[in-house]
Amino acid sequence: MSFRSPGVTDVHYVASLSPGGGEHLLPPRAWYAESDARRLSLNGSWRFRLAGSADAYDDGFAVPGFDAGEWGEVRVPGHWVLQGGGAFGGPVYTNHLYPFPVDPPRVPTENPTGDHLRVFDLPEDWPIGEGGTVLRFDGVESCARVWLNGRELGHFKGSRLAHEFAVGPLLKARGNVLAVRVHQWSSGSYLEDQDQWWLPGIFRDVTLLHRPEGCVGDHFVHASYDHRTGAGTLRVDSESAGRVTVPELGIDLATGTEATVPVEPWTAETPRLYDGVLATAGERVPLRIGFRTVALEDGLIKVNGQPLLFRGVNRHEFHPATGRALDAETMRRDVLLMKQHHINAVRTSHYPPHPAFLDLCDELGLWVVDECDLETHGFVEQAWRDNPVDDDRWTPALLDRAARMVERDKNHPSVVVWSLGNEAGTGRGLTAMAHSIRSRDTSRLIHYEGDPDCHDTDMYSRMYASHAEVERIGRRLDGGPKDRRGLPFILCEYAHAMGNGPGGLTEYRHLFDTYERCQGGFVWEWIDHGLEHPAYGYAYGGDYGEELHDGNFVCDGLLFPDRTPSPGLTEYKKVIEPVRIEGDGRAGTVRVTNLYAFADLSQLAFTWSYEADGVPLATGTLAVPELGPGERAELKLPERPAGADPTAETRWTVRAALAQATPWGERGHEMAWAQLPVSTRVLAPAAVGARPARSGDRVTLGPAVFDARTGALASFGAVALTGLRLDVWRAPTDNDEGAAWQPDLRYGPRWRELGLHRMHHRLDSVESTGDALVVRTRVAPAAREMGLATEYRWTSDGTRLRLTVAVAPEAEWQVPLPRLGIRFGLTDTAPGSRVPVRWFGGGPGEAYPDTAAASAVGLWEADVDDLQTPYVRPQENGARADVRWAEIGGLRIEGDPEFWFTARRWTTEQLDAARHLTDLVPGDTVWVTLDHRQHGIGSQSCGPGPLPQHQLHAEPAEFTFTFSELTD
């Protein structure tokens, strides 16, 4: 790396292909959080000014004595675009489009450039003059040039990688001036085209590290485990010679030498770490050693001899207020939430995370696919012409990135796979990266999805493959190069969790269970990147007036921006439970299977409860033998408790929970459950007998009054009810809308094109026949021939009111229906007042046909407002599945068969029109939808749509609701 010190306005380094330079820039090395050497955090408030171009200011700002009195301030770590209330520009969101003209490696003249200044003193006891000092930047987007006390240290790119400078001789006891000029755009931006907000700034820590004489330099901890002998072998290679001690193992050896001793291995399920110390003449560095061996064996990814099943997520670093500047607590929260939801693996999409995150993965146990900071997706727009990964001039920059990842993160037992990057096409540069990684580290496997031939990788990886394709791959019928068919398969991204969804998780899980080649996958993605916004609540692409943007495609996580779990995460938790509970409720038998690969079930306690109509009649504990990994046991439930009403619906619910607190979960944390039905409900006799009676323009039937001319229900006892009619429309979900590039039909746009959001209800007849009032209508969109002949048949027994809806499709329906049910309004519910709902059916959370695994039948209660799921872009949400009966607003509704219950303080049309949650303003009517069926959810916002069995095709249907008034 050659270096010339440019003039301040000479900004050629910004667009040069060089990854960095400067006499003081150091080669990459292992990162560690602790040591006995002194360190000083330079995080905090820095002086800041923004320029519109890279060369705007040449006023000697880096020279001590410069007066920055006029400047603003920013917090470091941080992104300037998220500070200053808009005064420092705004964030930009694009998925894969470069937000500047593509002319690599050049960047636009308009290049927001932030000058950062920080004046600091060394602590009194800083050993000034002894040894050296290193200045470390853990992450700066996208290119920084650094001066200390007026001396230029150098410049660097590689936003999510650490860079260190040797600064020893330049430091003074007091009044040190650190100046950092950060350019938003650089040649590096071409390599950082990840689908996320573009967020410039010094967004990770800045630290001054004292380097005592004889300090620990780079070091590589090799800790393997032989599952046949139970022995671990430790060798620490170190730049400076020293000793390695692990007191618990009686190890005391010289660096570079090896010891083999019996150990407990590290796995993500049993994250056993041994505390050790690497001591050189001048420094002691604590080591946290995990013994494990990663291998590609029999065409499978194995650790310690066992094949892995990744129950993973893709994790971007994100916080709704601070962007990619994450504090320690947020990182820990992510890992805890993952562990609590049975997630066992994380792909660090699409760059190495803050190193402290990997410490947490070691400590709490997650398999990590550590991904390099590389994506050139925007070149797809020009058929990958000029793709940097296939242009040798860029190879040094690529190798620099690979080395900075591997050197920084190589001592983490949790990291089992290196990933070359994401969506970067194919090319020689990737091959060079793979070779350099293999030559440095033979103890891990290599992943890259973008190369279907698996030229450089140890596993076949795909994103968003359909169930059918995964099945073909599982059967090794997927074609492709022969060598590939011998490789393990993972879905590095699947189940796109944008908005309501993802659907189809259960079916993927089934494929992973069936085909050993399919070693699981990583849901896209962990968290919605909605940014806190004063007007919109959470902002997404376009909300900052960006020239190009990809809307709410940036909100596609299992967590809402504030890290509350979305129903998608609850669903995923259920689908990937580490214990399977099955059985036959009538026979009273249960089978428990341990699905862990390494852990036994000794940390779990099992209980049963026996419920009648959702009310527990008795509960007890279930003795489950200590099952080893993969083992199962057949157990007997106790005698069925007596006392259930003979008409009641009864079931067993069997649960497994943590018997004791673990480092990530409280005692009692739910780990698995199943419901085993015993008897089904006995429906009350049909509400018939009363006869409709006409008087003037009204028809009275029991407690109900109808408009004699239109057949519309006008009132039901004291319940103020309005607008009851057939409903087929739902506010399309992101998965209904689908992504523009989806090959299959996207129903959201098609539904709207066909007019399903503006159905006409033609009245054909109103007839009193014996004990029924029968209203016939035809429900159809303007301009189309297809329709639904709809008959409402009302009867009553004098107190209850029964409605049977019969629907018969007419002409050709080219699309499934969004939903099929009735809706009505409950008026007079003053806005702001609480509207409680009780129901017996699926809950507590929302469910749709292909997202219903976590829905448990029970007696549930919630307020209408709490039934809403706050998807960042409003869309259909909040349905409760398998509802037998529900009570709301003085009304009890019983269904035959079970129905989907939804209630909200706005109409579907208002929900559909809203762009942000702040657009939804409660009115004084609660709109209730009772659906006979719902169309599935799928994950077509980036993947396949709902599976055929979850689609709602227009076909003849009949369903009944019985209404009664609640008296309290």
Smaller CB separation from ligand IPT, 335 or 463: 463
Asked if residues 514 and 544 have their Cβ atoms less than 8 Å apart, the reply is no
Give the Cα separation of 236 and 242 in Å (integer). Answer: 10
Task: Give the contact letters, 699-728, x = binds to ligand IPT (CB under 6 A), - = no.
Answer: ------------------------------
Question: HSE (CB half, 13 Å, CA atoms) of 245?
Answer: 6
Considering only 195, 317, 373, 898, the residue that binds ligand IPT (CB under 6 A) is 195
423 included as an active-site residue: yes
- From 13, 340, 38, 324, select the one nearest 168 (Cα to Cα): 38
Smaller CB separation from ligand IPT, 496 or 655: 496
As a whole number of Å, the CA-based R_g of the chain is 32
Q: Which amino acid, 908?
A: T
C-alpha 121: how far from chain center? 42
Which ranges constitute the DSSP H helices of 479-539? Answer: 482-485, 505-514
Smaller CB separation from ligand IPT, 94 or 910: 94
- Least Å distance, CB 58 to ligand IPT, is 39
Neighbours of 34 (CB within 10 A): 11
- Least Å distance, CB 745 to ligand IPT, is 18
- Least Å distance, CB 313 to ligand IPT, is 13
| DSSP label of 527 | B
Give the Cα separation of 493 and 821 in Å (integer). Answer: 35
Q: Find residue 809's DSSP bridge partners.
A: 788
Residues 447-486 that bind ligand IPT (CB under 6 A): 463-464
Residues 409-428 that bind ligand IPT (CB under 6 A): 422-423
Give the Cα separation of 301 and 367 in Å (integer). Answer: 12
Q: Could you tell me whether strands 345-347 and 310-314 are parallel, antiparallel, or unpaired per DSSP bridges?
A: parallel
Give the Cα separation of 113 and 56 in Å (integer). Answer: 8
User: Which residue's entry shows tokens 């409950």?
Assistant: 826
Smaller CB separation from ligand IPT, 114 or 520: 520
C-alpha 174: how far from chain center? 46
Of 141, 423, 525, 577, the catalytic one is 423
Task: Give the contact letters, 668-687, x = binds to ligand IPT (CB under 6 A), - = no.
Answer: --------------------
Smaller CB separation from ligand IPT, 144 or 470: 470
Q: Which segments within 216-290 are labelled E, that is strand?
A: 219-226, 231-238, 242-246, 251-254, 258-262, 274-280, 284-289
Q: Which amino acid, 289?
A: I
Tell me the two tokens of residue 437.
């990684």
- Least Å distance, CB 942 to ligand IPT, is 5
Please state the three-class secondary structure of 564-596 as a single string: CECHHHHHHHHHCCCEEEEEECCCCEEEEEECC
Smaller CB separation from ligand IPT, 201 or 943: 943
Asked if residues 822 and 846 have their Cβ atoms less than 8 Å apart, the reply is no
Give the Cα separation of 918 and 873 in Å (integer). Answer: 10
Q: Spell out the residues 6+ positions from residue 74 whose beta carbon is closer than 8 angstroms to its own.
A: 45, 46, 48, 80, 83, 84, 88, 114, 116, 201
Question: Cis ω on the peptide bond leading into residue 616 (within 30° of 0)?
Answer: no
Smaller CB separation from ligand IPT, 553 or 598: 553
Smaller CB separation from ligand IPT, 95 or 255: 95
- Least Å distance, CB 353 to ligand IPT, is 15
Residues 920-959 that bind ligand IPT (CB under 6 A): 942
Of 493, 577, 611, 737, the catalytic one is 493
Angle between the 428-440 and 395-409 helix axes, to the nearest 10 degrees?
A: 30
Task: Give the contact letters, 78-117, x = binds to ligand IPT (CB under 6 A), - = no.
Answer: -----------------x----------------------
- Least Å distance, CB 308 to ligand IPT, is 22
Shortest Cβ contact with ligand IPT: which residue?
Answer: 195
Task: Give the contact letters, 545-584, x = binds to ligand IPT (CB under 6 A), - = no.
Answer: --------x--x----------------------------
Smaller CB separation from ligand IPT, 494 or 906: 494
- Least Å distance, CB 461 to ligand IPT, is 11
- Least Å distance, CB 963 to ligand IPT, is 44
Q: Which segments within 62-112 are labelled E, that is strand?
A: 72-76, 92-94
- Long-range contacts, stretch 20-24, CB < 8 angstroms, 24+ apart: 20/154, 20/155, 20/156, 20/157, 20/158, 20/163, 20/400, 21/154, 21/155, 21/156, 22/146, 22/152, 22/153, 22/154, 22/155, 22/156, 22/165, 23/153, 23/154, 24/153, 24/154, 24/165, 24/166, 24/167
Residue 524 contacts ligand IPT per CB under 6 A: yes
Length of the chain counted residue by residue:
968
Task: Give the contact letters, 376-415, x = binds to ligand IPT (CB under 6 A), - = no.
Answer: ----------------------------------------
- Least Å distance, CB 400 to ligand IPT, is 22
Residues 323-352 that bind ligand IPT (CB under 6 A): 350
Which ranges constitute the DSSP H helices of 441-515? Answer: 467-474, 482-485, 505-514
164 included as an active-site residue: no
Tell me the two tokens of residue 534.
């004063």
Task: Give the contact letters, 233-252, x = binds to ligand IPT (CB under 6 A), - = no.
Answer: --------------------
- Least Å distance, CB 314 to ligand IPT, is 7
Residues 886-925 that bind ligand IPT (CB under 6 A): none
Smaller CB separation from ligand IPT, 268 or 405: 405
Size of the site for ligand IPT (CB under 6 A): 14
Neighbours of 841 (CB within 10 A): 24
Smaller CB separation from ligand IPT, 159 or 224: 159
Give the Cα separation of 739 and 939 in Å (integer). Answer: 10
Residue 370 contacts ligand IPT per CB under 6 A: no
Residue 359 contacts ligand IPT per CB under 6 A: no
Residue 493 contacts ligand IPT per CB under 6 A: yes
Give the Cα separation of 37 and 861 in Å (integer). Answer: 57
- Least Å distance, CB 569 to ligand IPT, is 16
Residue 528 contacts ligand IPT per CB under 6 A: no
Residues 804-843 that bind ligand IPT (CB under 6 A): none
- Least Å distance, CB 497 to ligand IPT, is 9
Residues 294-323 that bind ligand IPT (CB under 6 A): none
| Burial letters 419-434, b for 16+ CB under 10 A, else e | bbbbbbbbbebbbbbb
Smaller CB separation from ligand IPT, 178 or 313: 313
Task: Give the contact letters, 44-83, x = binds to ligand IPT (CB under 6 A), - = no.
Answer: ----------------------------------------
- Least Å distance, CB 41 to ligand IPT, is 32
User: Which residue's entry shows tokens 């009204």?
Assistant: 698
Smaller CB separation from ligand IPT, 196 or 790: 196
| Residue 379 zone, left/alpha/beta (φ > 0; ψ -120 to 50; rest) | alpha
- Which residues are marked as active site? 423, 493
**Residues at the site binding ligand IPT, with contacts judged by CB under 6 A:** 95, 194-195, 350, 422-423, 463-464, 493, 496, 524, 553, 556, 942
